[in-house]
Copies of this chain bind each other. A is one copy, B any other.
């Protein structure tokens, strides 16, 4: 007996749900890989481990490939299934999130390159305590953003943005102390700059983690928010807190 139109419809809708769930899982799995990528990059700095750094650099192309694959999969889902409302927002949020994940992977590879250069030097030019503190914080932020994505939790996502503001303050303090060191030890300028670039990469990673949390809000609430909207939702009356982009150097 041929299936009824109703049965056929249910079958298609079940297939569609499965496809959505699959691509969502793939994105979260890619997120897990990027987390590990970043953790390894940070560890390669801490342990002067050039081999680990080399592996991080090599794995970056795998992450780039994943981004393109998941992006293509999402386009196909939109073209074939024509998802509406929440489903469409999920697919579009995944397209955006994998892009940010890929960028975090790039920055992790940059940090691994810094690790190789620092390992060549043998000794760290400055105390890297603050660097590792900030690294751990960024790793935690990325994890939280991915958890918020997995649980579709807009509240948790908003929290990440206010944490990034705190990280900003830490960052500026740390940068200032590296600059002071450079002024006192001009012969060390080029090595200290490696540390400065690595800090910059951490800052960018924070930005991308924040973007992912904005995609969660878009997916759940259905409107495009930015950092300012987020903060005014969390703390009414505080106005826009959009990243100032202020560049320390003084």
B-side contacts of A240, CB under 8 Å: 61
User: Which stretch in A2-10, A13-21, A24-32, A241-249 binds the other chain?
Assistant: A241-249
A240 to B197, CA, bound (A): 24
| B89 engages A92 (CB within 8 Å) | no
Residue A238 is within 8 A (CB to CB) of chain B in the complex: no
Residue A59 is within 8 A (CB to CB) of chain B in the complex: no
CB-CB contacts below 8 Å: A50-65 with B? 61, 64
Residue A37 is within 8 A (CB to CB) of chain B in the complex: no
| A182 engages B191 (CB within 8 Å) | no
B-side contacts of A72, CB under 8 Å: 223-224
B-side contacts of A159, CB under 8 Å: none
| B61 engages A245 (CB within 8 Å) | no
A75 to B91, CA, bound (A): 11
Interface of A is mostly: helix
CB-CB contacts below 8 Å: A159-188 with B? 179, 182-184, 186-187
B-side contacts of A193, CB under 8 Å: 179, 196, 247, 249
Residue A210 is within 8 A (CB to CB) of chain B in the complex: no
B-side contacts of A68, CB under 8 Å: 224, 226
Contact flags A180-224 to B (C-beta < 8 A → 1, else 0): 001110110111011011001000000000000000000000011
User: Which stretch in A109-117, A126-134, A140-148 binds the other chain?
Assistant: A109-117
9 pairs of A and B residues whose beta carbons are closest in the complex: A186-B186, A193-B249, A68-B224, A82-B82, A197-B247, A110-B245, A183-B189, A190-B250, A194-B249
Given contacts A78-B92, A117-B247, 14 further A-B contacts (CB under 8 A): A68-B224, A71-B224, A78-B78, A79-B88, A95-B96, A99-B99, A114-B247, A117-B250, A179-B190, A182-B182, A186-B186, A193-B247, A196-B249, A197-B247
